[in-house]
Amino acid sequence: MPNVYTFKDFEGSSHRILMGLIRRYAKRGGRLLDLGAAGGELGAAVRDHFGRTVGFEYQVDCVADLKERFDQVVVTDLEKLKRIPKGVDAVVCADVIEHLRDAPALLKLIREGLANDGYLFVSVPNIANITVRLGLLFGIFEYRERGILDNTHLRFYTLRTIRRDIENAGFRVVAVRGSSIPIRLIVGRFTPDFLLRAGEKVLTIVTRLWLSLFAYQIVVVATRK
């Protein structure tokens, strides 16, 4: 199965937010684990910040790309993962735990492997986003090939529930951000770039003002309690 997830590097996107937070919080020269690395674009974008990077991925079709973007690649099913290396400085779960049957188990596993001064970086779709709420108002709840209602999502999160799951796994949340609705992916082919950039700036501001309603994805940074 090929990698179907688009790397989103534009203003207000979850990947750009993650890159900024990783560079801000993670120790330079440390070790990074990217769990569910997909095509490896995020890991490649911050590779220069770390001494060693390891990508974990289930889809074997991604391995060739991952080998070019990480120092080491581990092909594994995160549902069956029993342990991760000890003393890891940064662990990324970008658009991953919503696909798992037992996400809390993986979060606890990560805590066991994370260094005392290490950081966990998580992003999940926000089921309380205004687009989903408006759909429900009109009786619409349709699964799709991508987005918040991706048909492979097994779990749904709000700002409150993702914080709760992370804290219950033994973490302390140190930062929360929200990505804006990705209009570039929705109407990009029909809209001039200057209008897209203007729209993205407006949505970024609106999302900061009302995170729980307008965040398309919730991005959390946490460390061990």
CATH number of domain containing 174: 3.40.50.150
Confidence at 197, pLDDT banded by 50, 70, 90: confident
The pLDDT of residue 3: 46
Nearest to 93 by CA among 72, 123, 67, 134: 123
Residue 48 has pLDDT above 50, yes or no: yes
**42 vs 162: CA distance, rounded Å:** 21
The pLDDT of residue 5: 63
> Would residue 23 count as lying in a domain?
yes
> Would residue 9 count as lying in a domain?
no
pLDDT averaged over every residue in the chain? 92
Q: What is the DSSP letter of 129?
A: S
pLDDT, tens digit (0-9, with 9 covering 90-100), for 106-132: 999 999 999 999 999 999 999 999 999
Residue 1 has pLDDT above 70, yes or no: no
> Would residue 5 count as lying in a domain?
no
Residue 145 has pLDDT above 90, yes or no: no
**100 vs 152: CA distance, rounded Å:** 9
Containing structural domain, residue 161: 14-224
pTM for the structure as a whole: 0.91
> Would residue 4 count as lying in a domain?
no
> Which residue matches tokens 């092909």?
75
The pLDDT of residue 26: 97
**220 vs 164: CA distance, rounded Å:** 11
> Collapsing DSSP states into helix, strand and coil, what is residue 144?
strand
**63 vs 70: CA distance, rounded Å:** 10
Percentage of the chain exceeding pLDDT 70? 96
> Would residue 174 count as lying in a domain?
yes
The pLDDT of residue 184: 77
Domain count, the chain: 1
Nearest to 162 by CA among 114, 98, 99, 83: 98
> Would residue 184 count as lying in a domain?
yes
Nearest to 173 by CA among 119, 128, 110, 214: 119
Beta strands in the chain, from DSSP E residues, in sequence order? 31-35, 52-57, 72-75, 88-94, 114-125, 171-179, 217-224
pLDDT, tens digit (0-9, with 9 covering 90-100), for 200-223: 888 889 999 999 999 999 999 999
Burial code of 81-111, b = ≥16 C-beta within 10 A, e = fewer?
Answer: eeebeeebbbbbbbbbbbbbeebeebbebbb
